């Protein structure tokens, strides 16, 4: 089976969130199950550098505002997966992340930049651009690649089956509908039953309306997005496609996230040899300027600083977390950036509690590994969370997650209470309402559990025993691809 993935970012070359981790790991896992997998990626500077042995497939000429567009094929340097690169210097060779300027504003030509990615993906899927390889399945990731579904449905000829994955419904790719002519699509698609969305043009809706199958990154999120609370205004569209939607839980790349072999942490350790974790904690405390105190439970946060992630709840619950220090109180290590107000508030908290609170307002993949290994617990109090990967990394590192019962967090963490704790099924602490009081109660339970070394070790080892491998997810995607191809053949 030939499968083409289209996405705007990929770990370790370009990453703004969990999407990059998925795109970096899933194709390789599918290849391990026998699929012939390739990717198509925008020619961002880091991608141009990270794809080796590039050869020109075809010259596409001037399009989407670019004077020269070239399609190249090479291999990702880190895992040798074949990758097409859409080399359009005018659109992609610029600083900033894939979507925003260095000043944090959306690039004004994002419509053209990501329409081009979708256009190339759709034309590869139709067998037009590479005469030596045509996919059976075209798998699009998030709004950045979703327009490929509109280009595919507007073409009457043969094309690959389409699968669209929603990684985060809150980011939808909305543009002025006056720019619709720039897409080169038939006007019949700009209607409420098509790409129009409350007077705007929605890339996300292209995937929701026109993909043959739709997936999300956890079973619970697949249910949540059918509701008004979590549907971000698209719940009606999603309910209309309910029979074609499924949730497949993300996995963990064991080659990247493994405390027994992680070269980025202070000392290796495993579930049966945990001494190294104490060394990691001490090293992290020294690095972050926290008091060197093995008895203080150290809570970590590795996250974008946004209201979605519920980090304002952490600030509100902070006094409760720190109370009683050093006798039983805790420490907090935060790494991430994003919302300016949250950045200022966390910086102020660190200034007010030296030795107890440390904040690094950066995205730093290496520091994320050190926090994951050195912290005793990880906070993920999200208001909504399609899947969440950090809690999966935390489980693998014996770092007990404290999470809200929502989305993929609900699917992956078992609360340490009642029968689950007694039957050795518990892996973390789960709370319900998105309030500081509910989070504070969960934090108090976690601190109390930490004082019971036997119970805490049980939670750590149970978490480390969980198997969230990409092999399981890849098997489900392969089954979905086969079903999609069979349904298309039947029609």
Return d(Cα 65, Cα 176) in angstroms, integer: 17
Distances (CA, A) of 252 to 11, 135, 346, 381, 395: 13, 26, 29, 20, 10
- φ, ψ of residue 201 to 5 degrees: the values are -110, 125
Residues 6+ apart with CB under 8 A from 126: 134, 152, 155, 157, 158, 159, 160
257 has pLDDT over 60: yes
Structure token pair of residue 288: 């972050």
When mean pLDDT is compared across 51-55, 260-264, 371-375, 416-420, the lowest value belongs to: 416-420
Mean pLDDT of 210-236: 97
User: What pLDDT digit, counting tens, does each position of 32-86 carry?
Assistant: 999 999 999 999 999 999 999 999 999 999 999 999 999 999 999 989 999 999 9
∠ Cα 439 441 447 (to 5°): 100
Distances (CA, A) of 15 to 21, 99, 337: 8, 11, 14
Q: What is the dihedral of CA 389, 395, 399, 405, to 10 degrees?
A: 70
Predicted confidence band of residue 103 (pLDDT cuts 50, 70, 90): confident
Q: What's the confidence (pLDDT) of residue 110?
A: 98
Q: What's the confidence (pLDDT) of residue 252?
A: 93
Q: What's the confidence (pLDDT) of residue 131?
A: 95
Percentage, residues of the chain above pLDDT 70: 99
Mean pLDDT of 117-143: 97
Q: What's the confidence (pLDDT) of residue 328?
A: 55
Are 372 and 397 in contact by the 8 Å Cβ rule? The answer is yes
Residues 6+ apart with CB under 8 A from 402: 299, 377, 378, 379, 380, 381, 428, 429, 430, 431, 439, 442, 443, 446
3-state secondary structure of 316: helix
329 has pLDDT over 90: no
Residues 6+ apart with CB under 8 A from 489: none
Q: What's the confidence (pLDDT) of residue 51?
A: 98
Q: What's the confidence (pLDDT) of residue 301?
A: 98
Return d(Cα 351, Cα 491) in angstroms, integer: 64
Are 344 and 357 in contact by the 8 Å Cβ rule? The answer is no
Q: What's the confidence (pLDDT) of residue 327?
A: 54
Predicted confidence band of residue 323 (pLDDT cuts 50, 70, 90): confident
Structure token pair of residue 189: 């698609």
Q: What's the confidence (pLDDT) of residue 158?
A: 82
Burial 261-300 (b: 16+ CB within 10 A, else e): ebeebbbbbebeeeebbebbbbbbbebbebeebeebbbbb
235 has pLDDT over 80: yes
Percentage, residues of the chain above pLDDT 90: 92
When mean pLDDT is compared across 21-30, 143-152, 421-430, the lowest value belongs to: 421-430
* Average pLDDT of the chain, as a whole number: 95
Predicted confidence band of residue 326 (pLDDT cuts 50, 70, 90): very low
Distances (CA, A) of 433 to 37, 316, 405, 440: 42, 14, 8, 11
For the chain, domains (ranges, CATH) are 2-251+471-490 (3.40.50.2000), 275-467 (3.40.50.2000)
Q: What's the confidence (pLDDT) of residue 404?
A: 98
Distances (CA, A) of 290 to 46, 197, 298, 360, 483: 35, 49, 10, 12, 53
């Amino acid at each position: 089976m030939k499968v083409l993935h289209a996405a705007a970012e990929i770990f370790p070359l370009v990453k703004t969130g969990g999407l990059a981790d998925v795109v970096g790991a899933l194709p390789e896992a599918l290849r391990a199950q026998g699929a012939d997998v390739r990717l198509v990626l925008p020619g961002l500077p880091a991608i141009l550098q990270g794809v080796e042995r590039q050869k020109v497939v075809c010259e596409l000429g001037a399009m989407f505002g670019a004077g020269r567009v070239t399609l190249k094929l090479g291999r990702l340097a880190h895992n040798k997966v074949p990758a097409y690169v859409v080399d359009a210097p005018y659109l992609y060779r610029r600083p900033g992340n894939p979507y925003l300027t260095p000043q944090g504003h959306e690039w004004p030509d994002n419509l053209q930049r990501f329409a081009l990615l979708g256009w190339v993906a759709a034309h590869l899927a139709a067998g037009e651009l590479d005469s030596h390889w045509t996919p059976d399945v075209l798998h699009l990731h998030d709004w950045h690649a979703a327009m490929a579904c509109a280009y595919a449905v507007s073409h009457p000829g043969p094309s690959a089956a389409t699968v669209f994955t929603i990684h985060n419904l809150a980011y939808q790719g909305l543009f002025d509908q006056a720019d619709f002519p720039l897409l080169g699509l038939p006007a019949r698609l700009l209607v409420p039953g098509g790409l129009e969305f409350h007077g705007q043009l929605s890339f996300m809706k292209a995937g929701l309306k026109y993909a043959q199958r739709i997936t999300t990154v956890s079973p619970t999120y697949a249910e949540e997005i059918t509701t008004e609370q979590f549907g971000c205004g698209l719940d009606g569209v999603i309910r209309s496609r309910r029979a074609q939607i499924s949730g497949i839980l993300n996995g963990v790349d064991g080659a990247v996230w493994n405390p027994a072999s992680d070269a980025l942490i202070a000392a290796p350790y495993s579930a049966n040899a945990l001494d190294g974790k104490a060394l990691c904690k001490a090293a992290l405390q020294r690095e972050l300027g926290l008091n060197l105190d093995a008895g203080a439970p150290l809570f970590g946060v590795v996250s974008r600083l946004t209201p979605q992630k519920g980090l304002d709840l952490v600030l509100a619950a902070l006094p409760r977390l720190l109370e009683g220090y050093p006798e039983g109180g805790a420490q907090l290590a935060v790494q991430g950036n994003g919302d300016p107000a949250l950045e200022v508030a966390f910086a102020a908290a660190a200034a007010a509690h030296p030795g107890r609170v440390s904040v690094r307002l950066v995205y730093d993949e290496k520091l994320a590994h050190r926090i994951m290994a050195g912290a005793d617990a990880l906070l993920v109090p999200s208001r909504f969370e399609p899947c969440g990967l950090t809690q999966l990394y935390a489980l693998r590192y014996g770092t007990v997650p404290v999470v809200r019962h929502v989305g993929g967090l609900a699917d992956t963490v078992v609360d340490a209470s009642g029968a689950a704790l007694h039957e050795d099924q518990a892996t973390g602490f789960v709370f319900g309402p998105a309030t500081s009081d509910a989070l504070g109660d969960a934090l108090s339970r976690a601190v109390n559990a930490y004082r019971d070394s036997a119970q805490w070790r049980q939670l750590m080892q149970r978490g480390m025993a969980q198997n969230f491998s990409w092999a399981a997810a890849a098997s489900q995607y392969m089954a979905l691809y086969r079903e999609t191809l069979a349904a298309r053949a039947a029609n």
